[in-house]
């Protein structure tokens, strides 16, 4: 399962049935879970933990030092969950001390070719990032979000769950959950209805989210007033509560 031209540091730990392709280099303090496939010409530096059943395609670079001028060589980490697919030329950097020390990618994510994830980002489960999507540092992406090709996201931005970012967008503020955003700079274009239906959200939930969206973004009210009106109008909807909580806790402000 280990190609004879691969270089595996004695300080690395490989689980059962791990495959490492030709000319790949796995450094010290790297842990790779069972049944993970590391293809040819991959470089993985530690401290890095990769879960079970992952696939890492050629010419990816995982766990190298953050691209941060303040970084002075401290032992920060990269953690990748189970079942995540990392396609060709993906780069994921470790964290920084100032940012908490960990860059984290969840389980069952799909990172397409040339994706870049910078230091201290947190990517939750089932996130899809299309070709050339680029994250600056300290970005948080909630589960089931989809980031289109050639999208650039500003540092410290949060992307809500089930959000969809259209291709070639520049995202400088937070994108609320369940919403569709696109453009340079990005703006909201409604709910991600295709994603909601694909994930079997009930018709009632979708109606509630549509009503909340109209109040929050199309009523002409200032945001504080729109939040109050939404809370008064729509009761007992966890998804609407999630949307409101995201907006109320946003630090960068949200795209409107």
Structure tokens at 243: 């949307």
CA distances from 72 to 79, 102, 121 (A): 20, 15, 19
- With beta carbons less than 8 A apart as the criterion, state whether 139 and 158 touch: yes
Spot the catalytic one: 33, 137, 149, 195: 137
Indicate if 119 belongs to the active site: yes
Spot the catalytic one: 81, 116, 120, 255: 120
- With beta carbons less than 8 A apart as the criterion, state whether 84 and 78 touch: no
Indicate if 120 belongs to the active site: yes
Burial of 150 (0-12, 13-18, 19+ CB in 10 A): middle
Backbone angles phi, psi at 238, to 5 degrees: -60, -35
Structure tokens at 14: 């490989």
Backbone angles phi, psi at 214, to 5 degrees: -60, -40
Backbone angles phi, psi at 11, to 5 degrees: -85, 0
Q: If you search the block for the tokens 């996130």, which residue do you land on?
A: 127
DSSP lists the bridge partners of residue 147 as 129, 165
Query: How many C-alpha atoms does 242 have within 13 Å on its Cβ side?
Result: 17
Spot the catalytic one: 119, 132, 149, 174: 119
Q: If you search the block for the tokens 């109040």, which residue do you land on?
A: 215
3-class state of residue 225 by DSSP: helix
DSSP lists the bridge partners of residue 110 as 85, 128
Q: Tell me which residues are annotated as active site.
A: 119-120, 137
């Amino acid at each position: 399962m280990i190609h004879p031209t691969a270089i595996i540091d004695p300080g690395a730990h490989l689980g059962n049935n791990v495959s490492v392709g030709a000319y790949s280099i796995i450094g010290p303090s790297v842990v790779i879970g069972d049944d993970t496939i590391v293809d040819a010409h991959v470089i993985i530096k530690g401290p890095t933990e990769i879960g079970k059943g992952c696939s890492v395609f050629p010419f990816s670079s995982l766990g190298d030092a953050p691209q941060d001028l303040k970084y002075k060589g401290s032992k920060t980490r990269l953690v990748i969950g189970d079942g995540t697919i990392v396609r060709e030329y993906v780069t994921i950097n470790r964290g920084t001390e100032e940012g908490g020390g960990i860059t984290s990618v969840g389980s069952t994510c799909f990172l397409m070719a040339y994706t870049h994830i910078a230091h201290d980002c947190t990517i939750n489960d089932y996130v899809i990032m299309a070709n050339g999507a680029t994250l600056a540092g300290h970005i948080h992406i909630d589960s089931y979000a989809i980031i289109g090709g050639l999208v650039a996201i500003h540092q410290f931005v949060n992307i809500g769950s089930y959000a969809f970012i259209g291709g070639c967008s520049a995202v400088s503020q937070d994108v609320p959950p369940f919403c569709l955003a696109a453009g340079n700079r990005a703006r909201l274009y409604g709910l991600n209805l295709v994603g909601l239906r694909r994930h079997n959200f009930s018709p009632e939930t979708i109606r509630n989210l549509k009503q909340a969206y109209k109040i929050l973004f199309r009523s002409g009210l200032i945001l504080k007033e729109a939040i109050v009106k939404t809370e008064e109008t729509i009761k007992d909807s966890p998804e609407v509560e999630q949307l409101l909580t995201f907006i109320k806790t946003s630090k960068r402000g949200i795209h409107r």
